[in-house]
Structures are given as C-alpha cells and as structure tokens.
Structure 1
C-alpha cells in the first residue's frame, strides 16, 4: 500500500511536468475518481470517448514518460525513507494521507503537497503574516498574538520569512502550540538561511509544507503561489503590516477570494489608505487584540 501511494505521487509529479495549464487542472483530475484511476492506468482509456472532460487525461496518458515516473518514484521514496517529508495527494485515497480540508475547498488547491507531518483538520487555524521589515513593536505584537492564540489550541500558519512570519512561528512554539510553515521553495530547501534553525524546530513541533518539487529553488513567482496555500490553510488571515503591493497584501486578497475573514492589525495599518479602503468596503476589519481575533473565530462556529 505504501509503495503504491508513492508511485501514485510519482505519476502526479511526472504529470505536473507536462501540464499545459494550471496545477489546479490536475487537482480536478485527482478529485474525480474515474479520471484519476485512468491517469494511473491508461489502459482504462475508452477510444470512443471524445468529451472535453477527458481530453487532458488523454493527453497526459499519451505523453507520460515512464522514465520520469521512475525518477520521481525514487526521489519520493528517498524522502519518505529518510523521514524528510511525505507526499499528500488531493485525491481521496482510502488509507492514504488526508489532504487539508480547508485547502481542498479552494478552487486553485495544489494537486500535491510535501509535508513533514500530518496537518490537523479539527483545530482552528489563523494565518499571521506581514512585512519582513516590520517595525520592532509590530514584530513583538505578532509574536505575542501568535503565542496567545496557540496557547488556546489555534494552529498558527505563516510563511517562514524574516520579520512578522518568523515572529509568528516563534510565538506559537514558545506557547508549546502548533505552527505550520508554508514554504516558497521545495521542502528540502530552507529560505531564508537565517531561519534554518527555526525550520528545524518547526519540523519537531509543527509542520513544514511545500507545494513545489522537493528540491526546487525559490523563483520570482513561487512566494506568490505560496501565499495561496497560506490563505487556503487558514480559517482567518491577519495582516500585521504591509504596503499596498506587498506579498502580505496579496495573501489577504487570496483569503478574501476564498471567502475567509481578513483582519488588519490597526496599530500598524490604520494609517494606510489601502487598509482603510478594505475596511470601508467591509472586506476586512481592523483589530488590536487577541480577544477581537477570538471573537472572529468564535463567529465562524455560529
């Protein structure tokens, strides 16, 4: 069963290399049991079928290179055997790792994740994100907010960057809570290097997760794609600081697109025009305390 699952993951990775469009197109195939089984076993293809729903499946089945499947099977097996990370497919496979439920609800969810541990589907989760160059007081606020929320059982999600992200992870760990670090690189590459020790502690007491091939470097767009996963894994997103065109702003726009509540840290953002416009539109609200965040979380259960 284990080797079968790793081989399925290898087929998904080889398919991603061929994909003519968005990775989420492959996610839709994995979520369709018939199409996914055909991808795994091309002999199931019906020569008479001409529906548009099967065109991508047929293209992948015709184009898959078995040497690439074997390559990925070997690479994923090494990762699993060395306990570096395990693949999590968006397909519903009995007995297989469970794909995060909140992320599965998102239209652009990645077809595969690599994670160092399972992600709890039951506890509430909050993304705390912000600038790498945030003011010292804002970084301290991020740490304390994460610690307060984590101490009460909320999972803290962030992006392993310097500044606010690192403070949020540190706060959760200081409270003996759970934190999820969503990476903009492959699961074997820590960026920035200054957070290597922090990443090791998150591995022991939380989860490192990446949607990218295991050895992939950072790219111009990988951190923007990472932001989609941060928003998708979280019930609520809190932006502590950021400019109108920042990566943090991009993350909260994704959260808004997913229909998730967005909170803005008023001590740092109430003077920003873009933040005031979001508040005026009702797409986000200003907060200044842990209690206000908890009230938002409590409201999700009503």
Structure 2
C-alpha cells in the first residue's frame, strides 16, 4: 500500500467529518506530511481540536482488512480513474463561498463492482420521509424503477420509507442503485434493511466516508446529507414533512448548484408539506413523472436498441 493511501486511511478515521481545519491542513501539506504531524500533534490549534480524541488511533491495517472482508475498498482523491472529482469539487467550491458544511471527504469507503466515478456519472438522488405514506412509497418505487430502466443510477440513503422504496424500485428494474450511508461500510442501519443492503452490495454501490465499525449517530446523518446532494446531478424529494431532514439535503443540493425537484402530494397530507413548501418557494421544480425529471436535468431517455 502506498504512503499516500496509508495516510488517507489514517486521516479518514482521525477526525469526525466534516472537519474543515483538517481538510485545509491536508490541502496545505499533503496527506503524508499531514498524517505525520497529526500523529505527533504538531498541528495548529483548530486541527488539534478536531483530532485530539483520535490522533493516537492507528488502525490502518485493521480498517483495510475489515473492508476487504466484505469486498469493499478505500478510494482517495489521488485515484484519478475512480475518484468522482467532477462531483466533489462542488463541495470545495461551495466552501469557498461560506458554506461551512461543504467540506470534501478525506476519502471514501466503497463497495461496488464498477468504478465509483462511472457509477455516479449519471446519478439522481431520490429521498424523502422515513415515515412515508403508501402513496409516497409507491411514487418513490416507480421513480426508482423508471430512472433505473433509463440507465440512471438511483442514489439514496438506505433509510426506511422513501429511501428504501427508491432502492427497491431500481433493483426491481435490474438497474444500478447507490446507498450513501452514515455508518462504517461494514455496518447496517437501520437493521431492518440488512437484506436490502445485501442486495445493494451484490448488485449496486455502497458509499460512506466513515471508517469500518463506525456506528450510526444523528450528526452523521446530517453530515452525510451533503454527500447525497453532491454525488448526484439532481435531487428528487418525494415526501417530506415541514421539518424533514430531506429539506436540509435539498438546501445543500441548491447550494451545490444541483437541480432540486419535488413530487406533490395530497394537500391534506403532512408528509407532503415539505414538498409543497419547496415548490411554493420556488426552491424545487414540480415533477410528476420521470419524463419531468429528465426534462429538468436536460437528459433524454435512451432509445431502445
């Protein structure tokens, strides 16, 4: 393993993402020198604060072995053939304009049979309420199925409700779906989606910035939302309450200059209030079909061979 890869494996564990001071320190000194200084705590105070609790954890070999055991790998910005530079640069660009949350990942743990860059070349995020209605789950599954049929990678977060329905729709079409998770690559949350995760591992893509063994935590889901927004061309919100975390993802997508779309629902449904709010505030385009999504993204459906 190269020095750079070992350094980034260490740095991916040593601070809780997003870690703006550590990210800037790596940019300034390169990953190898940054890792050496972090281990010795010869770093500026902001970096020391972000890494104080974990700088002594050198679990590089254990992390690589844990990932390899399930067929996963670490990809880093230096992996020119696989790192999705064209998508992640949007985070760095937003950070320079004051978006403090828009910090690019140090590295990504990936389980996929195809290069991540290729898998995400034509991806759309389909997200929404965990406590979804039958209407919402049906709509999400149909959108997932039809997008996957059209060769689009359906990206979501593996949660109950809309996320799971979108993943299942894509799998039903024998298409590609990507789960961006807020745990270690070897973990499953929620536990009730273990069988769904196993199917995605076998036929799709699993992505996380958290090292093997990392458990779920509320702040990790919030941090993960920036990757859901960044790693796709656009975001479709199928159902969301007025205070849904999906609205946070939609906001991040707008800041990253991604298309944001929302599916309307019954005016009596609290689960559609957030979608209606996005549409009312001109923060999302109203979509009622996959054709609308293609039109919004300026894509065309592939023609039959």
Same fold, TM-score > 0.5, yes or no: yes
Report deviation, 1:132.
1.6
Q: In structure 2, what is the Cα distance between the partners aligned to 1:104 and 1:264? A: 25
Q: 1:262 to 1:268 in 2, by over 3 A?
A: farther
Written as runs of structure 1 = structure 2, the 5 A alignment for 1:95-134 is: 97-99=82-84, 101-106=86-91, 107-117=102-112, 118-121=115-118, 123-134=121-132
* Runs of at least 5 residues in structure 1 that lack an aligned partner in the other structure: 48-53
Q: 1:200 to 1:100 in 2, by over 3 A?
A: farther
1:164-214 Cα distance to aligned partner (Å, 9 max, x none):
111101111111111110112221110111110110110111111112221
Q: Are 1:23 and 2:8 counterparts? A: no
Aligned mate of 2:57, from 68, 73, 79: 68
* Runs of at least 5 residues in structure 2 that lack an aligned partner in the other structure: 92-101, 301-305
Q: In structure 2, what is the Cα distance between the partners aligned to 1:278 and 1:58? A: 37
Report deviation, 1:78.
0.8
Contact 2:262 2:278 in 1 (8 A): no
Report deviation, 1:35.
3.6
Report deviation, 1:133.
1.8
Contact 2:124 2:153 in 1 (8 A): yes
- Equivalent residue number for residue 12 of structure 2: 13
SS of alignment partner, residue 208 of structure 1: strand
Q: In structure 1, what is the Cα distance between the partners aligned to 2:248 and 2:220? A: 13
- Equivalent residue number for residue 182 of structure 1: 180
Q: 1:161 to 1:57 in 2, by over 3 A?
A: closer
1:33-56 Cα distance to aligned partner (Å, 9 max, x none):
x443432555xxxx9xxxxxx847
- Equivalent residue number for residue 87 of structure 1: 74
Report deviation, 1:99.
4.2
TM-score, normalised by the number of residues in structure 2: 0.80
How many residues are matched?
282
1:55-104 Cα distance to aligned partner (Å, 9 max, x none):
479969x98988622xx212223134424421223xx4256752453133
Q: In structure 1, what is the Cα distance between the partners aligned to 2:74 and 2:159? A: 23
Contact 1:240 1:268 in 2 (8 A): no
- Equivalent residue number for residue 96 of structure 2: none
Q: In structure 2, what is the Cα distance between the partners aligned to 1:129 and 1:181? A: 11
Q: Of the two, which has the highest radius of gyration?
A: 1
Q: In structure 2, what is the Cα distance between the partners aligned to 1:273 and 1:142? A: 16
Contact 1:23 1:111 in 2 (8 A): no
Q: In structure 2, what is the Cα distance between the partners aligned to 1:241 and 1:65? A: 38
Contact 1:123 1:153 in 2 (8 A): no
Q: Are 1:39 and 2:24 counterparts? A: no
Report deviation, 1:111.
1.5
Report deviation, 1:11.
3.0
SS of alignment partner, residue 9 of structure 1: helix
Contact 1:128 1:157 in 2 (8 A): yes
- Equivalent residue number for residue 95 of structure 2: none
Larger deviation, residues 211-220 vs 79-88:
79-88
Q: In structure 1, what is the Cα distance between the partners aligned to 2:236 and 2:55? A: 44
Q: In structure 2, what is the Cα distance between the partners aligned to 1:96 and 1:299? A: 24
Larger deviation, residues 251-260 vs 230-239:
251-260
